[in-house]
Amino acid sequence: MIFVTGGTGFLGRNLVPYLLAQGHTLRVLTRQPEHHPWLRQAGIEVVAGDLQDRDRLARHLEGCEAVIHAGGLFRMWGDAESFDRVNVIGTGNVAAAALAVGVTRFVHISTIAVIGHPTPGRIIDETHPPRPADPYQRSKLAGEAVILNEVAQHSLPALILRPGAFYGPYGHYAFNRLFFEDPLKGLLIKVSGGKHVIFPVYIGDVAAAIALALRYGSPGEIYNICGDSISHNEANAIVSEEARLTRLRINAPEWAMIALAQVWTWLSRFTQAEPYYPINLRSYVFNDWQVSIAKARDELHFRPISFREGARRTLDWYRANPPR
């Protein structure tokens, strides 16, 4: 039995069916089971709760051999306290509960984004020093520290996966929005001439990497999980070709986009609504994310699909589920 947090999010909607197809039995934590009837239809054990209740987590974990901690708060906008409550304290609660019941495997989902500001010209492998640039990134790095401390101090059998920028079915945010939904809606722009390099990973590949980590991963290790790092121009061209859109994009210079994001983010203090272009997009969009997955290839036998194939699958899903 595998205990899964985050089973109803973007990753979870892809991960849960994948694990079922692999023959695993699952117990999925969700705050509101009634909002996710698809889980019960799939024959999964569903338990109600959240990451803040350590005692209930321990009860829910009884009888489970493994944990996949994919639950977390990801936004490009928000306050540090909210991120820390979920991504740091919540992670500590899951780790403590896992130790209490003696699980034999623990996979923690972090993000390559903890690097924050990649060193120009340096490949981002697992030894690259993190320099988180916003509250979300800082909370995810602190969550990693919680896990690594439990490994060192209490022999928690945990490893960390750092996926790249998710894209694929069931996504409506971040990479999906910028590179798929916006163009499909006719918002055809590129930033800084499309020269910067992004780090996408197809969501199905993340699910596959998690299953591989359960089998092959080593406790205390960190693994980058990513597809090919490609320029914005390359990503835009592939999406345009596969969606039969024009390849033309209106160029938005970096200074203009940052100014717009700063104003929009300032206004959000009064509207209490997330800006369409928040300033925290800056580290993702205006850096070059050249990521190495050599360690995951060698130790986990991870093999991602091409961005073109991932884009085809994503667009197939959008054809059945047009963006609003």
Q: What is the pLDDT of residues 68-98, one digit of tens each?
A: 999 999 998 889 999 999 999 999 999 999 9
Q: What is the pLDDT of residues 107-125, one digit of tens each?
A: 999 999 999 999 999 999 9
pLDDT of residue 135: 96
pLDDT of residue 96: 96
pTM (2 d.p.):
0.95
Q: What CA–CA distances, in Å, run from 177 to 109, 173, 287?
A: 22, 5, 19
| 302 close to 221: Cβ distance less than 8 angstroms | no
Q: What is the CA radius of gyration of the chain?
A: 19
Mean pLDDT of the region 286-294: 97
Interatomic CA distance for residues 215 and 199, integer angstroms: 25
pLDDT of residue 273: 87
Q: What is the pLDDT of residues 201-260, one digit of tens each?
A: 999 999 999 999 999 999 999 999 999 999 999 999 999 999 999 999 999 998 888 998
Residue whose pair of structure tokens reads 């884009």 in the numeric block: 311
Interatomic CA distance for residues 134 and 299, integer angstroms: 31
Residue 43 has pLDDT above 80, yes or no: no
With a pLDDT cut of 70, the percent of the chain lying above it is: 100
Single out the residue of 177, 225, 201, 168 nearest to residue 75, CA to CA.
177
Residue 315 has pLDDT above 90, yes or no: yes
Residue 288 has pLDDT above 90, yes or no: yes
pLDDT of residue 120: 94
Interatomic CA distance for residues 15 and 8, integer angstroms: 9
Q: What CA–CA distances, in Å, run from 4 to 33, 45, 290?
A: 14, 10, 30
Q: Domains (ranges, CATH) in the chain?
A: 2-171+199-229+290-305 (3.40.50.720)
